Amino acid sequence: MRQTICFSLSIGVYTTPNELIVYQDGNKIQLVALCFEAEIVGGELRLSSETTEYGYFSSPEIQELDLLLNHRQRIKDAYSGEMTTFIR
């Protein structure tokens, strides 16, 4: 069974040349992350070989999570209530 998720609004495009990922072989990449606000319209969340855990969190609960610094900015943008796409 295929899960259906409807993407309703782009939240942001995040990238910076100041944060490169460097692989052991010396290759470097500049990560580009696209973030979306989504609404589940059917199906059921499940664990998979790529997902070991999932959950829904309130804003106060998110503040207690061990997150990467750049993820905090993305979450802040999502909670801003602004009807715009952030480019950072």
pLDDT at 79 over 80: yes
pTM over 0.75: no
Residue keyed to tokens 């750049």: 70
pLDDT tens figures, 15-65: 988 889 999 999 999 989 988 887 777 888 889 998 888 888 998 999 999
Q: How confident is the model at residue 5 (pLDDT cuts 50, 70, 90)?
A: low
Q: Where are the domains of the chain?
A: 5-87
Q: Cα–Cα distances in Å, from 20 out to 13, 27, 41? A: 16, 10, 36
The helix/strand count (H/E) of the chain reads as: 2, 3
